[in-house]
Every structure is written in structure tokens, then in C-alpha cells.
Structure 1
Amino acid sequence: MDVKEVLLPGVGLRYEFDNADGDRVGVIAKRGGDFEVVLYAAGDPDVAQPVFRLTADEAEALAQILGAPRIAERFADLTREVPGLDAGQVPVRPGSPFVDRPLGDTRARTRTGTSIVAIVRDDEVLPSPGPAEPLRAADVLVVIGTQDGLRRVAAIIDEG
């Protein structure tokens, strides 16, 4: 996809792209941190209709929501290139013995040879979590390893 970047002196940056429906979409990143999403009129590319505005925090939340599922997809793409390597997602269920305990307590890497490369929590992605990161009910662990290793991590998270 071709994204055009335009400097708006005194305002910020505008990013534009054409979506699959043929509409021209713009995202204006203002210097103060807010964002405005606009849709351009078909007949006049200089006339834009505001669609919605986002504060910096709202834009960050939206980016996390949209980006979280893509992390697992990117790892899945990577694993297709390496025979024997798989990516998966392991949910942390409310009854897990590791809820509210540090990730390191699972000893998942030592026990299975897999790597937990991210935690998806609500609308946030925690890449490369350290062993002190506490696990929460409803977290989703993004795991890379063999199929057997992924199954064993799921069993560890579920049963201990």
C-alpha cells in the first residue's frame, strides 16, 4: 500500500492512502499529539470531511488494538520460512495457577524450549516480556517454538 506523507507547516503531518473501496483516507497527526481521520471528496482531493478525532491516548489505544492481532500474524509468516518452527497464542485463563504471578515462575523456556515473545493484554501489546512481568487473567501469550513446545506451554499455563 502506498502511503503519502505531507508536511503541514504549523499543524503536523498528513498521511494519505487509497483504501480497497477507492476512497482516499487521511490521518492528520497534529503537533500537539492529537489525530484527525478524514475522508476526501471524490471530485476534489483538497476537500476533506472529518470522520473522527482522537486524543494521543485514544490513538495509542486504537493502534494497539489494530496492531495486536498482526503481531501473531507476522510471527506466523516468519515461522513458515523456518521448518519446524511454529507460532501460537496461549490464553491465560482465570483459573491458571500463574495468574498474578511473574512470567518467570512458569519456567516455560527452560521446560519446553519455546519463547514467549509478547503478551497481549486488553488493548496493549507487551513485546519481549521479562521474567518479572506478572501474568493476568485474559492475557494472551504469543509463543514461538515447536508444535510440541507450544502444546506444553499451554499445558503449563493451564495446569502448572
Structure 2
Amino acid sequence: MNVEVTQLPGIGVRKDISLAGCRRTIGIIDHKDGTIDLIVSKPGNPDETQQISLSDHEATVLANLLGAPQVVAKLQDEHREFGELVTRQLAVRAGSPYAGCPLGDTRMRTRTSVSIVAVMRAGHAIPSPGPEFLFTAGDVLVVVGTAEGLAAAARIMTDG
């Protein structure tokens, strides 16, 4: 499945997917001000859409409903024997100092010993993001480390 990305000058970025078996699309508009709109087209007419504004919290919950918990649960199941190892989800909020910045700028692993093993974006898992990976508001990071490291990682994503 392809994600169609369209730059909206002065507004932000629109990302759409076409649903298999019908002429219908769903997507989001990621506004420059950090707000997110959900877009759903009418059945049989992908050009006629309904737009729903989402708060940061609503966008994060929707991302979770679309797959982030399954990735985290799978990681927790596979790593239980390592005792102190914990897996957690961290949202990149619109006000985060790292929204729009590369992962490497966080120096997350050096500062906390936490690993970012995947990023959930628009319902898709991006495994093993490299230091050049650009965070976007609304991303959900799947992180692994100690409880203390994860708490420090959460503070970094919120406060810098």
C-alpha cells in the first residue's frame, strides 16, 4: 500500500492511502501549527471528503488504535526474559523540541541508554530509524530500555 504525500504550501502536509476494493481514501493533514485533521472520503467518490480536527491526544489515541500497541505488546512478549528491560510508547507532540528534527539530535541512546526500535507514523511501523530520521508531530516512538532510561527519554522528548 502506498502513502500519497502532498505538500500544502502554507498549511502543512497531507498524507493519504486508498482503501483496497473501493474507491475511498483516508488520510491526515499534518498542519504546520501541529494540529492534525483526519480526512475520510465518501464511498465511490474520493474527491468528496469529510475533515475532522483532532487534538494531540486524540491523534495519539488514534495512532495507538491503528497499531502501536500491537508492536509494543510483541516486543514485551519477546523480551520478558531480560528482567529489567521495559518497552514503552512515547508520542512526539507538536510542542516537542524535536518535532521536525532528526533522531540524532536527541542523542537519546547516549543520554539514556534507551533504544528507539521503531516509529509508528500514520499507522505504519518504521523499524530501526537511523540518526537522520526526521520526527514529525504525531509520531509514536517504540522505545526499549530500563524504567529509569524510559522516564529520562520521555523528559527529553517533552523538554529537550
**Category of TM-score, reference length = shorter chain:** 0.5 to 0.7
Report percent identity of matched pairs.
46
SS state at 2:87 partner: strand
Is 1:104 the equivalent of 2:104? Answer: yes
**2 CA distance for matches of 1:143 and 1:92?**
12
Give ranges in structure 1 of 5+ residues lacking alignment: 1-32, 34-52
Q: For the pair shown, which has the larger CA radius of gyration, 1 or 2?
A: 1
Q: 1:67 to 1:97 in 2, by over 3 A?
A: closer
Give the number of equivalent residue pairs.
Answer: 103
Give ranges in structure 2 of 5+ residues lacking alignment: 2-18, 28-64
Q: Name the residue aligned to 1:156.
A: 156
Q: Name the residue aligned to 2:20.
A: 54
RMSD over aligned CA atoms reads 2.3
1:66 shift after superposition: 5.5
**1 CA distance for matches of 2:91 and 2:159?**
12
Residue correspondence of structure 1 range 1-160 to structure 2 within 5 A: 54=20, 67-160=67-160
**2 CA distance for matches of 1:101 and 1:155?**
16
TM-score (norm 1): 0.59
1:69 shift after superposition: 2.9
**1 CA distance for matches of 2:81 and 2:70?**
17
**1 CA distance for matches of 2:89 and 2:109?**
15
